[in-house]
Structure 1
């Protein structure tokens, strides 16, 4: 059995390995085509970047009302969250919560006395409300 093993190992070592061109890589046949494609894609990308202001301007003009509504909704959400965080922090301070409740009750009592109890004062409040509404809606 030993002679058979020697024959197989001799056959395996007889394969020729070329060591004369060590350190060189084989040329890729499509390298020139690939570089041209990369240059074409780079040119398209640079044109897109150059026209980015026009693209964004068209986008914002087309979706102006939706973006405005989304911005107002996001701003309102952030404002409410900040207000609630501030009130939660203030409520942790001793005697601040009851003091703020008393101030709120006092202002509510003054507002009812000033604007709600008498008919003349209610008309005055209605006129002020209409004036503010016209200013906000841009009718004035």
Structure 2
């Protein structure tokens, strides 16, 4: 009995992807040098991405003071902008801005009358300022 299966030659095996050693098994495709180069670049990229958190941690550890200072500077700018926006919003309310001006003028007048008119009251102000300074800064030895 003769088999009706066609014989696979070596040239057919390479073009069809069939293995001549094991009939019916598909061989791995032959890789070209360009594929090897692409795979090498992909390996470099995946290695970098797998170590990115280590690089970031090292950068933050090395520059911690600088980053904290930059963050504080940024937050100070945000706080000033927010304060100016709140003051502008309050200033737009009718009769509220003139009322605040009157309160400020009244307090300024009281402060001048209380602490700046006489010599004894100025000395009292200096003593209060010095006691406040020692509470905040501490005693000088």
Q: TM-score, normalised by structure 2?
A: 0.58
For residues 1-54 of structure 1, the C-alpha deviation after alignment (integer angstroms, 9 at most, x for no partner) is xxxxxxxxxxxxxxxxxxxx9xxxxx7542123213311331233123344323
Q: TM-score, normalised by structure 1?
A: 0.58
Matched residue pairs, number? 107
| Greater share of helix | 1
Gapped runs of 5+ residues in structure 1? Answer: 1-20, 22-26
Work out whether residues 60 and 67 of structure 2, in 8 Å CA contact, stay in contact via their aligned partners in 1.
no
- The CA deviation at 1:58 is 1.8
Match of 2:74 in 1: 74
Match of 2:103 in 1: 103
Find out whether 1:41 has 2:51 as its counterpart: no
**Residues 33, 43 of structure 1: CA spacing in aligned structure 2 closer, same or farther, 3 A cutoff?**
same
**Residues 113, 59 of structure 1: CA spacing in aligned structure 2 closer, same or farther, 3 A cutoff?**
same
Would you identify which runs of 4 or more consecutive aligned residues in structure 1 move more than 4 Å? none
Q: Which has the higher contact order (CA 8 A, sep 6+)?
A: 2
